[in-house]
């Protein structure tokens, strides 16, 4: 079961995550992890993926130290014991 860390900028919208830096959920792929996270914290997936399930433009997900490759289907594998980190990309000037 991967431990998922989420940046404070996203956690502040969800009271269930406001006090915890991470959540442990089931999932062998990034898509499964996002679905499990949304089941535990309803609405969170809407900030992470679009209506087709693709990663939103200004969101990055890392499995261990590597950024996900499949931004459309989120099929990247999540090996046992490897953490997942969800971050909002910053843009602008």
First vs last C-alpha separation in the chain? 38
Domain that includes residue 76, residue range: 3-88
How much of the chain is helix, strand and coil, in % rounded to 5?
25, 25, 50
In a domain, 93, yes or no: no
Q: Looking at residue 30, which CATH number applies to its domain?
A: 3.10.20.30
In a domain, 60, yes or no: yes
d(CA 65, CA 52): 26
For 93, the token pair is 């000037």
Percent of the chain with pLDDT over 90: 75
pLDDT averages per 10-residue partition of the chain, 93 residues: 89 82 93 96 94 94 97 97 89 62
50: in domain: yes
Model confidence pLDDT, tens digit, residues 19-39:
888 899 999 999 999 999 999
Helices and strands, number each (H, E), in the chain = 3, 5
């Amino acid at each position: 079961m991967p431990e998922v860390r989420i940046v404070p900028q996203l956690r502040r919208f969800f009271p269930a995550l406001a006090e915890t830096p991470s959540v442990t959920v089931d999932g062998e792929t990034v898509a499964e992890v996002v679905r499990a996270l949304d089941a535990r914290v309803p609405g969170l997936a809407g900030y992470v993926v679009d209506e087709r399930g693709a990663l939103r433009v200004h969101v990055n997900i890392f499995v261990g130290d590597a950024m996900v490759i499949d931004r459309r289907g989120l099929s990247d594998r999540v090996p046992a014991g490897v953490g997942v980190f969800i971050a909002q990309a910053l843009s602008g000037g």
